[in-house]
Amino acid sequence: MKQVELLEIQVTPADARVNINEKQQYKAQAFYSDGHSEDVTKIATWNIDNDSVANVVLSGEKAGLVSGISHGEGNVMATFESHTGKAKVNVTDVEYLGINIEPANSLVEVGAFQPLTALAVYRDAVGGVRYKDVTLLSAWRTENPEIATVSAIGVIKGEAQGMTNVEAYYHDLYGEALVSVVNSLVTKLTVTPDNLSAPVGTKGRYQAIAAYIDRPDEDVTELATWSSSDIDVVHIVTSGIDGGTASANKVGSSEISAQFEDIVDSVNVQVTAAVIERIEITPRVDTVYLENITQFYAHAYFSDGTVLDVTLDANWKSDSPQIVTIQTGSSRAGQAMGVSQDGAASISADYAGFSDSLSLKAVPNMPESIEIIPNELTLKNGGYAEVQVMVTYSNGDVYDYAKYVDWSSSDDSIAYGHQDVIRAEGVGHATVTATMETVSGSAEVTVTP
């Protein structure tokens, strides 16, 4: 048997900007000759080539945590089994605009958990709005811990029915999100896919969707308890983060069941002798956007015509993570992000001895249009109106950036904009404009006595 060899260590993010006294967690991923990879962040040895600019936690639970000391650049390095990977750190003056917590509105059951993400909003060197994940670096609290509690890493737990705000503090900034805790009854559980035909030797994941009386349907795949009527034919992970993940072990049939809060649903699966012929990455694009996520998928095509989504089971890799990074080995598998415009990167997905790849370039994700909503206002003198400023980016994303645009007015003495408010200062008519980078949108404002 051929010995599995360590091929390389990749360190991400490939290029990070931090302030003096600010922290950034780096990650080390080890890639092996058999196609698999693993996170070795906590067991690698870390170093930095310019300790006057930043320092790094060398080993242990906080290994790879970098702190900015003074302005400048350095290389952060992780060494594991004689292989070293590196990434850049740039200690500079980052002007943070605020903290966004996602999701902004959460619904959680009593006794249930839900992770939140804290994102620091800042402008890059060319004025674009960017985000930095500061979830693990923030201080978390809830206004009413009797309703919901929150852990040091931003995971909320429902304690009693009601609503409360959850807050994240990062340096002198803070953001908040609304959490609603409910006691709700599940009315129905639906497991998909049903009547699946799965080739022997493949893996896949079932999904369980719960329908509630008082709120939208919810994915409870990780919360349900799973079982297989014939574990020799199909083995299934019974619970937890990998719950519902099934392996087709031999030709035959089995019934897959999920139970959640005393409600059960079952589906049938037929395991066939089909063999894999190829895998394909989609979408077939040649660009991704700088500091923005593009989700790629991997599908396996079999001899009997079966097509399976193997995104989570494939091993993803970028040959140039300093240009394009891609996630692997987690629920974020297949998520690519542009890091640099200098050249191209090839991303690949490997599954069951088959592979596919794409060549990608990273381009800026620039604002393409701005719309103020509403774009026609009639206000009384001294009054104001809240507005949305919808910024559409080249990748199709649309955000309300009312608080982050630059405002101007044809006549400040009549009306002007500030954050998400347009105020009336004097009788007359004015055009109020919101601008981000080179794109702008306007609202016509009439002020009456």
Tell me how far apart the alpha carbons of residues 266 and 421 are, in angstroms, rounded to a whole number.
52
- pLDDT at res. 126: 66
Looking at every residue in the chain, the average pLDDT score rounds to: 92
Query: Considering the chain, what percentage of its residues have pLDDT values greater than 70?
Result: 98
Structure tokens at 390: 């919808």
**pLDDT at position 16:** 86
Cα 282 from Cα 394, distance rounded (Å): 19
In whole angstroms, give the CA distance from residue 270 to residue 276: 16
Q: Is the pLDDT of residue 219 over 80?
A: yes
Kindly give the residue spans of alpha helices, DSSP state H, lying in 311-360.
none
Runs of H (alpha helix) within 115-263:
none
Res 152 pLDDT > 90 = yes
Least confident of 185-189, 342-346, 397-401: 185-189
Q: How confident is the model over 398-413, as a mean pLDDT?
A: 93
Model confidence at 443: pLDDT above 90: yes
Helix (H) or strand (E) run with residue 225 in it: strand 225-228
Task: Over range 361-382, report the average pLDDT.
Answer: 94
CB atoms within 10 A of CB 312: 19
Is the domain defined by 96-182 classed in CATH 2.60.40.10? yes
Three-state SS for 274? coil
Pairwise pLDDT comparison (312 vs 408), residue with the higher score:
408
pLDDT tens sequence across 280-290: 999 999 999 99
Q: Per-residue pLDDT averaged across 216-236, rounded?
A: 95
Strands 234-236 and 37-39 come out as: unpaired
Q: Name residue 11's amino acid.
A: V
**Contact 41/9 with Cβ under 8 angstroms?**
no
186-272 fold: Immunoglobulin-like (2.60.40)
Judge whether residue 1 has pLDDT over 60: no
> Residue 84: pLDDT above 90?
yes
pLDDT at 241 over 90: no
Over residues 105-121, the mean pLDDT reads 90
Minimum mean pLDDT among 151-165, 207-221, 245-259: which range?
Answer: 207-221
CATH number of the domain at 6-91, please?
Answer: 2.60.40.10
Confidence of residue 185 (pLDDT cuts 50, 70, 90): low
Number of Cβ atoms within 10 Å of the Cβ of 185: 12
- Cα(181)–Cα(350) distance, integer angstroms: 42
Mean pLDDT (whole number) for 333-354: 94
Confidence of residue 33 (pLDDT cuts 50, 70, 90): confident
What is the Rg, in whole angstroms, of the alpha carbon atoms belonging to the chain? Answer: 26
> What's the pLDDT at 291?
86
CA distances from 398 to 11, 129, 154, 283, 366 (A): 31, 13, 26, 21, 11
Domain 367-448 architecture: Sandwich (2.60)
| Whether residue 158 has pLDDT greater than 90 | yes
Return the domain boundaries, the chain.
6-91, 96-182, 186-272, 276-363, 367-448
Q: Do domains 96-182 and 367-448 have the same CATH topology?
A: yes
Residues 39-48: what's their mean pLDDT?
A: 95
Strand partners, 109: 182
Q: Using 50, 70 and 90 to split pLDDT, how confident is the model at 2?
A: low
pLDDT at 441 over 90: yes
pLDDT (mean) for 358-369 = 94
| Strands of the sheet with 105-109, listed across from one edge | 105-109, 173-182, 162-170, 139-142
Q: Is 64 in contact with 78 (CB distance < 8 Å)?
A: yes
- Least confident span in 45-59, 193-207, 374-388, 403-417: 193-207
pLDDT band at 381 (very low <50, low <70, confident <90, very high): very high
Tokens 């993400």 sit on residue: 117
Residue 125 binned pLDDT confidence (cut-offs 50, 70, 90): low
Residue 153, pLDDT score: 92
State the CB neighbour count (10 A cutoff) for residue 373: 12
The answer to whether domain 276-363 has CATH 2.60.40.1080 is yes
Task: Look up tokens 């048997």; give the residue.
Answer: 1
Confidence of residue 389 (pLDDT cuts 50, 70, 90): very high
